[in-house]
Amino acid sequence: MNSSSTAGSIRTAAAAPDEGTGETGVGSTAYLYNSARSIAIRYGIALALVAIALLLSLGMQRIFAFPYPFLFLFFGAVMVSAWFGGTGAGLFAVLLSTVVVDYFFVPPFYSWQISTTAETYFVAFVACALVASWISSAKKRSEEALQEARSQLEIKVSERTADLMQTQAELTRLSRALSMGELTASIAHEISQPLTAVVTNGDACLQWLSARPPNLEKARQSTEKIIQDGARAGAVVSRIRALFKKEGPIKNWVDINEVIRELVGFLRHEASSRHIFIRTELSSPLPLLKADRVQLQQVILNLVKNAMDALIEAAATSKEIVIRSRMQNGNEVLVSVEDRGTGLNPQIADKIFDPFFTTKPLGIGVGLSISRSIVEAHEGRLWAIPNPDGGAIFQFTLPTAHEDPRAPKDSHE
């Protein structure tokens, strides 16, 4: 039993290399067969074309009795052979054409010898046939290289297109994330101001109620201010959401001077606590504007708050903010906020309106960006210039309406 098993194992081990060799041999045989078949086809085409050229040339020579041998068909056979069969088939066609022309068309006819007078003609034919074969095969290689380059280019373009589509999708997701981040930061920035007023008025209300006796009138006034500030906070959130959704502002007839005066009254307590004086120079009368009152308040509020921060940072001796309004160019209202604070750095003057750009240690850089978006939504323009006396001047323009609702109407209407 042991000897039989050992013999069987030896036979199996010996048979394994034969099987592997057999599979390799079959693949090699198939490759050699295909190669030989391709070569036979290419050279067979060359042989057939030269034979056709010979028969047609002999027939035409006998019919038309040309004084010189009609050999142009052989050039065609060489070029076609080189085009479809490559350089080898083209040279084979040149060889066959040379032999055929020497035997049938070069005197002495039907002989392998060449007369002295026909040597130059025969050499010229051979040279032309070689050149024709080289040109045809070179042209074919160029066409194949061009086709290959086109195929590779199409593949690369497809790959790049797929990559660009993927990149565009990623950028779209990133843009949405940034938009949500900017919206969140904007709401946090803008809502902090009315919420601060709510807390301040709430604290004042508690103090009035804690007095002995309680001052109910003052407490009622503080409560009314809390309600107003809470309503303004809700309006700010709604306006910012509409701004990021690219919805149009809710426009009504607005007196810009009234908006400024109301805002100055709101900021008077904060300005006093910082030892800052707010002065107004308002031209009167100004035409009513078709605008969103809450958004205009936010623009002026942002500009005044930035001016306060600039005055504190600069430790200016003259802590004064000047708000001006006047007509400009006959068709727009100009509002400016002037301070003598730190001023504008020329290197960053173009960036201060970019989202999330800030020079404040605790700033988030959205106030001026939102302000510019609001002004542009009202078809206006917001910009900043250096103050000749030091500091900066932020100013914006708003177009006036075509007709003022306060203007007297024609009695005939």
Q: How confident is the model over 181-196, as pLDDT tens digits?
A: 544 555 565 566 677 7
Q: What tens digit of pLDDT does each residue of 12-56 get?
A: 444 444 544 555 566 678 878 788 888 888 888 888 988 888 888
Q: How confident is the model at residue 357 (pLDDT cuts 50, 70, 90)?
A: low
- Of 324, 192, 206, give the one whose Cα is nearest residue 270: 192
Highest mean pLDDT among 6-10, 277-281, 316-320: 277-281
- Cα dihedral 105→111→113→115 (10° resolution): -50
Report the C-alpha gap between 297 and 212 in whole angstroms.
Answer: 38
Lowest mean pLDDT among 58-72, 75-89, 195-209, 305-319: 58-72
Lowest mean pLDDT among 49-58, 69-78, 259-268, 399-408: 399-408
| CA atoms within 13 Å, Cβ hemisphere of 319 | 17
Checking if the pLDDT of 169 tops 80, the result is no
Percentage of residues of the chain with pLDDT beyond 90:
8
Cis peptide before 388 (omega within 30 of 0): no
Checking if the pLDDT of 7 tops 90, the result is no
* Unique residue bearing structure tokens 């194949």: 144
C-beta separation of 78 from 90 below 8 A = yes
Q: How confident is the model at residue 342 (pLDDT cuts 50, 70, 90)?
A: confident
Q: What pLDDT shows up at residue 257?
A: 92
Q: What pLDDT shows up at residue 16?
A: 47
Structure tokens at 72: 């142009």
- Cα dihedral 168→171→173→179 (10° resolution): -140
User: Which position has the higher pLDDT, 15 or 156?
Assistant: 156
Report the C-alpha gap between 143 and 140 in whole angstroms.
Answer: 5
Q: What pLDDT shows up at residue 413?
A: 41
Q: What pLDDT shows up at residue 75?
A: 82
Q: What pLDDT shows up at residue 336?
A: 94
DSSP assignment of 328-377:
ETTTEEEEEEE--SS---TTTTTTTTSTT---STT--S-HHHHHHHHHHH
Q: How confident is the model at residue 179 (pLDDT cuts 50, 70, 90)?
A: very low
Checking if the pLDDT of 227 tops 80, the result is yes
Mean pLDDT across 121-125: 81
User: Which position has the higher pLDDT, 249 or 58?
Assistant: 58
Task: Name the helix (H) or strand (E) containing 222.
Answer: helix 216-244
C-beta separation of 385 from 391 below 8 A = no
- In order of their start, the domains of the chain are 2-114 (no CATH), 251-399 (3.30.565.10)
SS3 of 278, please?
Answer: strand
